[in-house]
Structure formats: structure tokens, C-alpha cells
A and B are shown apart, each in its own frame.
Chain A
Amino acid sequence: MKFTWFNLMPWPDLPEDFREKHRSVWVDIDQRLFDPVRSHEVYNTYMDLLEYASTVGFDGIGVNEHHQNGYGIMPSPNIIAAGLARRTSEAALVVLGNSIALYNPPVRVAEEFAMLDCISGGRLVAGFPVGTSMDTNYCYGQIPSLTREKYMEAHELIIRAWTERDPFAFNGRYNKLRHVNIWPRPIQQPHPPVHIPGGGSVETYDFCIDNTYSYSYLSFSGYLRAKALMQGYWDRVAQRDAPDTSPYRAGFAQTICVAETDEEAERLYWPHISYFYNRCLHVYPGFADAPGYRTIKTIQSGALSQYAPPRGGYATLTWKELVEQGHIIAGSPETVRQRMEDLIKGLHVGNIFCLMHVGDMPADKCMYSTRLFAEKVMPKLRNMFPEHADDDRFWCKPLAKRVTPGSLPAAPMTAPQTVGA
């Protein structure tokens, strides 16, 4: 199993009446709700928490890309990952990921990911999302029905830039580049492992199967509701005669809160869970799915945006509902272990993206929950798939010998001696 500690980086100060007074947490969120001075502390605390997670045994620490979003103040995950690369030494840097259709030209992603891989000594796990419709279409202006074509072209360009050893010309529809020749290139060969966040598109299933990429479902609605979607993926894996059904071909994001007891979990975490589920996910439904963004095949398969309003409209979700419906896995270490086992077996997933900082959770509570999970839950879930234990296709392969950042020699007071002169 691979456990990645993930922080969406929500803005912690959305007002209590946010849902009533504001149309959307995303795209046209009120600019005045962001306080740059306050963000200085917020960003640094969030990065501290990611670093903390790397010290207690998580395999990876994860960041992602959103734009104009009140629950994800990380338009550039690469900036955060660069900071983490220097301040951590073991954990994988899971950048899940860069919305490659948005970069002009996309070799920028090939370059920045290569830099992260080089700086971190081969610890990068690269993610290539198409990006939500909010980010890609409404914030970044991409034409919905051409987004996927542009994405596929960007992917081809990045992989070629990473793997070819001579300059080449790339005559794409969206990218015309006469001299592609990135410097640097990644440490990991042939390239860093790739994870593709998807939301149920059949095309994305096939894309992962064809390229041996891990398919990850980054949902907030939990493992019970994800069953049908992940089953669709595994059915497709079987249909397409993939050489194996390794659980590492898939990943899943799950909100997790651990305390000493179930009661303590509710008492400690409920305000922050409520903040996230009842305030942060308030997206104007008109932004959920620009016409043309999802393919006809996908709509016909019944996959709708997870941001589309629920049947019967929005209601305020209670702790009990969130726990029972599996949106969140919360409780004592034993409760969480059981639920996690159900998740891992039920969805057949080897990569878990643990959403352990939730909403406006303060650092101490987040660390408490994180430590309990790492010490009392994670060890018991380690060997869920012993027959696939040596499947390393979907995880980073760091250099055996890595430098320690900040290891400069003492500042020389006289001219250093030139060796070999």
C-alpha cells in the first residue's frame, strides 16, 4: 500500500453564512474574502503540516492544482512541491497534478516536473489531470469541446520531451515548436510514474490502461459512492485484457479523521468537517460542467460532475450522515482501520490519498489525527496486497544516495584551493 498525505489547502476563514451570501466557492468567489496577510501564516502552516506528515511514515505527500478556488489556494502546486523537496528527504512528492492543457507550451510542465525530480533525487510522482471544468474552462478559458484534444497533444509532447534524446520538431495543432529539447530532464527513467485523476470518463480509463498509468478518483463523497465508478474502471481493465489487475493501477482520495474514540473524533473534528462539506463545496452549478467538456460517451455512461447539485438540492449534512454514507472515515483507530479495509478491498486500490487536513482544521488537531493514523492504522493496512508487493510501476524510484539540502561547507574566509591545479 502507498499512503499519501494530501492537503487541498482550503481557505480557513469563509464566513458562516458563506453558502447563503455567496454564489460560489470557485471561479467568481468574492475576492475580498482572501486576506494576503493572513495567507502568509496559512500557507506556511499548510506546508509545515505536509512536512510533518513526511516524518511520521507516510509514503508520499500530495499537492494539486486549482484556480480561483476557496478550498484550494494552490494554483501552482509546483511551487509548494519545490519547497517540500528541500525540506523533506524520504517521502514521494505526489503532484496530482498539473493540468497540462493549460500550460503554453506544455513543455513547461516537462521542465518543472524534471526540476522537481532532480532537486528531490527522483521522488516525483507526476499527475496529469484534464482539470475540472471550473479550472480549465471557466477560469482558464479553454474551449470545452477542444480541451481533451489539447490535453492529449500536451501529454504526447511532454512524454516525448522527457524521453527523446535529440532535439525534435513538434508540429501539433495547439503547439508549434521547432526545437524541443528540455534541459533538465528527469532522473527517473524512462520518466516519473504518472497518475491520472479522472471522474468516470471511459476515455480516461483507456488512457491509463494503454499507458500503464495509475487511475485515481479524487472524490470527496467517499468510498461507498465510488464503488460503481471504480468497478467501471476494473471492468474496463478486464475487458481490455490488461496484463494484470494490480491494485496500484488505481488510487482513491478519502477524507480521514482519527481520534482515541469515535466520540472524540466527532467532538474534535465535526466543526472542520462541516466547514468543508457544508461551506467549501458550495460551487455554483453553472460552473460544474461546461457543455462539451465531458464527452457524449461519458454523459451517456451516467458520469456527472461531482460538483453538480445533488438530487433534491443542497441540504446540510450531519456528522452521522457523512460517516454512514462513507463521505468521511472517522473514529477510533480500530473503526478507521475497519473502514479503510473495506475501502481498500472494495475498490481494489493500492494508492490512498489521505485527506487528513479538512476545512478549517487547526494544526494541532490535524497533527493528532495524522499521528494516530500513521501509528495505529497504517501499519495494519500495509500488507493488504502481498501478491502485488513488488509492483513498483506506479511509484517513484528515488536515487539510493541523495544529498542533504543545506550541506554547504563552512564559508571560506580565503580563496579556496583549486583541486588539480
Chain B
Amino acid sequence: MELKTVETPHVPVRYLTGGSGPALVYLHGAGGVTAADPLLAELAKSSTVYAPFLPGYGDSQECAELRDMLDITLHYWDVVAALGLKDPVLVGHSMGGMIAAEMAAVAPGDVSRLGLICPAGLWLDDHPIADLFSLLPYELPQVLFHDPEAGAKAMSSGLNMEDPGFLQTFLVQNARQLGMAGRILFPIPDRGLSGRIYRVKAKTVLVWGDSDRLIPPVYAQAWKRALPNAELVSVPEAGHMITIEKPADVAAALSRLG
């Protein structure tokens, strides 16, 4: 994966790109994405992948002007246009899935293939989603992974917790990334998508891990009800970070979009 920059009306956007084949735009979740992401590697086998960072993620510039769901939805359409893409396969994980679904709802004629990996954006009163923002780092693996122990290792790889500057670096990154994510996810990740989702026309594949403890599989059923023609692929032994735990299964499911 290569890291590049594209200019958009609000802010220069950093994005990862690689692979060959039809264009696929991948929108990352609230935890961000790296060049080493195993799902991007899987997708790159048969697609030209573009994974733009939400402003504030990775080393990308923040953008104060993007304040709400509509701002961010239109911003990503600006990114697609700036990349010179027309009707790419649009895939999003978690927060990215929420944004991808919004993009497909506001511009249904511009998206014909949509891949939603355990997306945020709907809310069920009987199944409140955990408050991601108040979770402590050591509590995250339990919520995010089917195998918390392996997940904890994956999350801490590359981090040097012995470094005295670690806490500050960690807090700055959190403030930049989750600060931005909070604009559409805090305190409840529902910005009214359920009222607009009927507009989505794209062929849609939903992918969900059976052990997702952040957005539990009961939400897959809610998405199925909202998008009756969508195909739901459930993956055993995968948590919310199914993109790391079962990248090949996710890529196989998404390949059904054609």
C-alpha cells in the first residue's frame, strides 16, 4: 500500500492505495487503518483499493469545517471525485460503513455496489451499543475481538508503552481521531440514517462477525430489515474487528458484489 495525498475543497486528504483491478473505495472505522491492514491486502488482490483517511486520522490534517454527518458524507463524495472515480465499489467498516451507507442514500444513482462491514448508524433501544468513547484501552480487546488475547497483541504491536512520551502521543492521536469520529458517533452513533436508508439502490452485501460485542449481530437483522435486498454474510469466530480477524472471509463476501 502506498500513502498518497489528494486535494479536496476542504482539506488535503491522505489515502492508502494499491492493488489492481476495478476501483474499490474503503472507508475505515473509528480505530483508523494502516498500510499493514490485512483486509486492504486481501482486497488489493482483485481491486485497485483507495482507503482515504478521515481528516485527523493517521498523519492527515484535521478539518474543523467537517462538523456533522452531512458535512462528512459530502466530503467523502468530494474525495471520490478528486480521485477521479466513477461508481467505485464502496465499502465501509463500522463508522466507515455508516458513512458509506449515508453516501449511498444521498446519491443513490452514484453507487451501484455497497459493502457494509458491521456498520454503525442504526440504534436499537433494546440493544444499546457500548460507549466506545468511555472505554479504557485495556477494555477494548474484549469488546472488539472474538479472541481478546490475540486482539490485545494486535492492538499494541508497534506501540512502545515504555516510552515516557507514549501517553501523550496516545492521547494526542486519540483526540485527533476519536475527536473527529465523535462528530458522527458521540454519544450515540445514530444521525438519522434510518429515515434515509430507503433511498439506497445499490446492490448491498452486509458482513458481520458472529462474536461482535460492540455492534452485536442483532444489528445485522436491523440492517436486513432496512435493506431487504441486501445479502447478509455471517462469519463465525469473528468480532467487531473482523477486518483483522477474518480478512479473507470478508474479501470473499465482498466479491459477491461483482
Chain A contact residues, CB within 8 Å of chain B: 137-138, 141, 143-146, 149, 173, 284-287, 289-296, 299-300, 302, 304
Contacts and interface: CB of A to CB of B under 8 A. Distances in A.
A92 B67 CA distance: 40
Contacts of B183: 143, 145-146
Interface in B89-128: none
A290 B133 contact: yes
A313 B239 CA distance: 30
B33 interface: no
B36 interface: no
B187 A137 contact: yes
Nearest to A295: B175
B172 A299 contact: yes
Contact of B134 (A290, A295, A302): A290
18 contacts: A138-B131, A138-B134, A138-B187, A143-B183, A144-B179, A144-B186, A145-B180, A173-B67, A285-B136, A290-B182, A290-B186, A291-B178, A291-B179, A291-B182, A292-B178, A296-B172, A299-B171, A302-B168
A281 B67 CA distance: 34
A137 B183 CA distance: 12
Contacts of B159: none
Given A137-B186, A137-B187, A145-B180, A286 B136 contact: yes
A145 B186 CA distance: 10
Contacts of B131: 138
A300 B179 contact: no
Interface string B148-176: 00000000000000000000100110111
Nearest to B187: A141
A278 B199 CA distance: 55
A137 B178 CA distance: 13
A149, A300, A302: which has the most chain B beta carbons within 10 Å? A300
Contacts of B174: 291
Given A143-B182, A145-B180, A146-B67, A292 B175 contact: yes
A284 B176 contact: no
Interface residues of B, number: 23
Given A292-B182, A299-B175, 5 more contacts: A145-B180, A145-B182, A290-B133, A291-B179, A304-B171
Interface string B129-140: 001011110010
Nearest to A24: B134
B177 A291 contact: yes
Given A286-B134, A286-B135, A296 B168 contact: no
A302 B131 CA distance: 26
Contacts of B135: 286
B186 A143 contact: yes
Contacts of B64: 149
A296 B168 CA distance: 10
B172 A144 contact: no
B75 to A, nearest CB: 15
Given A284-B134, A290-B133, A291-B175, A299 B168 contact: yes
Contacts of B175: 145, 291-296, 299
Nearest to B170: A299
Nearest to A292: B179
**Ordered nearest first, which 7 A-B pairs have the shortest CB separation?**
A292-B179, A291-B178, A145-B179, A286-B134, A291-B174, A141-B187, A286-B136
Interface string B183-199: 10011100000000000
B174 to A, nearest CB: 4
A238 B74 CA distance: 44
A36 B215 CA distance: 37
A292 B184 CA distance: 13
B139 to A, nearest CB: 8
Nearest to A294: B175
Given A145-B180, A286-B136, A290-B134, A300 B186 contact: no
Interface in B180-223: 180, 182-183, 186-188
A284 to B, nearest CB: 7
A304 B167 CA distance: 10
Contacts of A138: 131, 134, 187
B64, B139, B171, B182: which has the most chain A beta carbons within 10 Å? B182
Given A146-B67, A285-B136, A290-B133, A300 B172 contact: yes
A293 B176 CA distance: 10
Contacts of A149: 64
B166 to A, nearest CB: 13
Contacts of A294: 175
Contacts of A300: 168, 172
A287 B187 CA distance: 12
Nearest to B167: A304
A151 to B, nearest CB: 15
Nearest to B132: A291
B133, B172, B174, B180: which has the most chain A beta carbons within 10 Å? B133
A146 B168 CA distance: 21
Contact of A296 (B67, B176, B186): B176
A296 B175 CA distance: 7
A289 to B, nearest CB: 8
A144 B134 contact: no
Contacts of A287: 134
Contacts of A137: 133, 186-187
A293 B171 CA distance: 11
A137, A296, A304: which has the most chain B beta carbons within 10 Å? A296
A154 to B, nearest CB: 16
Nearest to B133: A290
Interface string B49-92: 00000000000000010010000000000000000000000000
B175, B177, B187, B188: which has the most chain A beta carbons within 10 Å? B175
Contacts of B171: 289, 299, 304
Contacts of B67: 146, 173
